[in-house]
Amino acid sequence: MRIDGPKFIGNALCLDFVNTLTWRGTPWPHDYLRGYGDLVDWSRRAGLLDEGEAAELHKKAGKDRRRGDTVLGVARELREAIHGLITSAARGKGHAAADIAALNRVLAKAPRRHGLAKGERGFVWKLSERPRTLDAMLFPIAESAGETLVAAEAARLKSCASPQCGWVFLDTTRGNRRRWCDMADCGNRVKARRHYLKAHTPPEKRR
Ligand SMILES: [Zn+2]
């Protein structure tokens, strides 16, 4: 089980955010976001905050723990809404109205975009102001979800082939054949288990 911070394997910010909860298909899911500070640290790793901004948010949250807890609650709700929307889109099923509403509540508070600018790695949105509130990281995550749902081909939105894992990703391979969140990790673990079961099953019971 990974406990030292989730890998970024989703190919979209919003999908990596969904993957901060892992082992969804088991009775013992693991949440990397156990406190507001974890949300700040993850956002820093995801490139949503620079070091100074992360330090500022840690400090602010230290002074207002209740607000930090509230934002963490909103973040988890947003995460489940994105998970619901992405997986229903992937399966070609209808979405839950509550999931759209939860996403829209965050989008409604997002800072206004004032146009495009050239960033270090391609184009970026110019914002009216960079929010410095405790929920600052939720806006780009919600926007990523909106953009992914609008633009991504449903056939490329996938859940890991391990039903226990539950991680989601955008398949950007040429043949659209990616099945695992991370073959080197999850895929091999499942293969090893299959091998083990086969080796320990009497021949008459093998299929
Ligand atoms: Zn997996």
What pLDDT score was predicted for residue 185?
A: 78
Residue 6 lies in a domain: no
Domain boundaries, position 85:
13-205
- Expressed in angstroms and rounded, the spacing between residue 163 Cα and the centre of ligand 1 is 8
Q: What is the mean pLDDT of the chain?
A: 89
Residue 1 lies in a domain: no
Residue 8 lies in a domain: no
- Expressed in angstroms and rounded, the spacing between residue 30 Cα and the centre of ligand 1 is 13
23 Ramachandran zone, left/alpha/beta (phi>0; psi -120 to 50): left
pLDDT at 106 over 70: yes
CB 103 within 8 A of CB 85: yes
Residue 135 lies in a domain: yes
Q: Which residues surround ligand 1, an ion (CB under 5 A)?
A: 160, 162, 165, 167, 181, 186
Contacts of 146 (CB under 8 A, 6+ apart): 103, 107
Span 37-46, pLDDT tens digits: 999 999 999 9
What pLDDT score was predicted for residue 1?
A: 38
Of 18-32, 51-65, 162-176, 187-201, minimum mean pLDDT range: 187-201
Residue 68 lies in a domain: yes
- Total tally of structural domains belonging to the chain: 1
Residue 203: pLDDT band with limits 50, 70, 90: low
What pLDDT score was predicted for residue 189?
A: 73
CATH of the domain at 19: 1.10.3300.10
DSSP symbol at 91 = T
3-state secondary structure of 25: coil
Largest CA distance in the chain: 69
- Expressed in angstroms and rounded, the spacing between residue 24 Cα and the centre of ligand 1 is 10
Residue 127 lies in a domain: yes
CB 113 within 8 A of CB 131: no
CB 202 within 8 A of CB 181: no
What pLDDT score was predicted for residue 3?
A: 42
Residue 191 lies in a domain: yes
pTM given for the model = 0.86
Q: What percent of the chain has pLDDT over 70?
A: 93
pLDDT at 60 over 80: yes
Span 120-144, pLDDT tens digits: 777 877 777 777 899 999 999 999 9
Residue 85: pLDDT band with limits 50, 70, 90: very high
Residue 4 lies in a domain: no
Residue 2: pLDDT band with limits 50, 70, 90: very low
pLDDT at 166 over 70: yes
Q: How many residues does this entry show for the chain?
A: 207
- Expressed in angstroms and rounded, the spacing between residue 191 Cα and the centre of ligand 1 is 12
> Can you tell me the distance from the alpha carbon of 168 to that of 175, in angstroms, rounded to the nearest whole number?
18
